[in-house]
Amino acid sequence: MQHVNTGTTTSETRPLHELSSTRIGWIGTGIMGGAMAGHLLAAGAPLKVHTRTRARAEALLTAGAAWAATPAEATRDVDVVCVNVSLPEELDAVFFGPDGVSQALRSGQLVIDFGTSRPSDARRIAEAALARGAEALDAPVSGGDVGARNATLSIMVGGNANAFDRALPIFHRLGKTVVRLGESGAGQRTKIVNQMLVATSTIGMCEAVHFAQTAGLDTEKVLAAVGGGAAASWSIATLAPRVLRGDFEPGFSAQNLLKDLRIARDEAHELGLALPVVEHCLRRYESLVATGHGARGTQGLVLLLRAEQQASAGHAKSRG
């Protein structure tokens, strides 16, 4: 377990008790959220769960979680409220909507947002929580469906140092690397860095595998050869084998990565930065989503490359 806190702990810090006595409200049970909530439930935490479609929470409910009909209900009578939803609009509704978290938040509670959203959203939630005597952390995660299932996520945290220390028992159940980067919004800005690297790595992997397949190489041997050298990466180790199997199910969806790249572009504009590689990645994933593959995994970019190759070959044949 790697755990880094860039702040200091004071005598006022109140660590959470053992998870078996920490009441948790969990909102959002998607590809990653369901697995993460399951780890906390397995650790003995009393868990209330809310998601837009109750059927997606059935495994947790069968395992002993209680159902909450609204985000506000998931917030009542718990110590910690964990949120993991995909879109900034969903986060806004979950937190600030008429039945949102903010309607039931009380002094002493802790809110942890595990999703990826705008840094400005993290700061707004932290301010709203503070106004009610509560605390909030932005704690986006990386590691995909595999990391969520295996509790090996990397967790990037922004927020008060004392709140970070209180949350460590939860973080330790979910990830192997836990780093506090600074105050509210710093976790989300770090996730932007992460997604920039993920996008460029994944696009490079997809183009390389497409090249190897088109060239008639034994792609499994190719991956074995390059995976132990300077080209080694998470994309090569985890996503490339899925491409070879024809598995384009999402560990992390293309449409979610596109959302994150748009956040990266907007934040870069605010900072006065030009990020041409990010702009290229954004255009490629916009094209993939436009072809109807937004719900595929990020490795689905190979499908776009194949379609473009076929279209190019058809155009050349028609001209020939």
Domain boundary among 125, 157, 183: 183
**185-216 pLDDT, tens digit each:** 999 999 999 999 999 999 999 999 999 999 99
Residue 10 has pLDDT above 60, yes or no: no
Number of domain units in the chain: 2
CATH label of the domain that carries residue 93: 3.40.50.720
**38-84 pLDDT, tens digit each:** 999 999 999 999 999 999 999 999 999 999 999 999 999 999 999 99
Whether residue 245 is contained in a domain is answered as yes
Distance CA 55, CA 52 (A): 9
CATH label of the domain that carries residue 206: 1.10.1040.10
Distance CA 65, CA 186 (A): 32
Query: Mapped to the 3 state alphabet, what secondary structure does 75-104 carry?
Result: HCCCCEEEECCCCHHHHHHHHHCCCCHHHH
- 151 and 10 within one domain: yes
What is the residue range of 202's domain?
A: 190-314
Neighbouring CB atoms inside 10 A of 273's CB total 11
Model's pTM, two decimal places?
A: 0.90
What is the percent of the chain with per-residue pLDDT over 70, rounded to a whole number? 94
Whether residue 319 is contained in a domain is answered as no
**213-257 pLDDT, tens digit each:** 999 999 999 999 999 999 999 999 999 999 999 999 999 999 999
Q: How far is CA 175 from CA 64, 80, 88, 154, 257, in A?
A: 23, 17, 23, 6, 21
Query: Among all residues, which ones are annotated catalytic?
Result: 191
- 241 and 133 within one domain: no
- 171 and 48 within one domain: yes
Whether residue 14 is contained in a domain is answered as yes
- 221 and 101 within one domain: no
Domain boundary among 183, 209, 242: 183
- 234 and 179 within one domain: no
- 205 and 162 within one domain: no
Average pLDDT over residues 258-272: 96
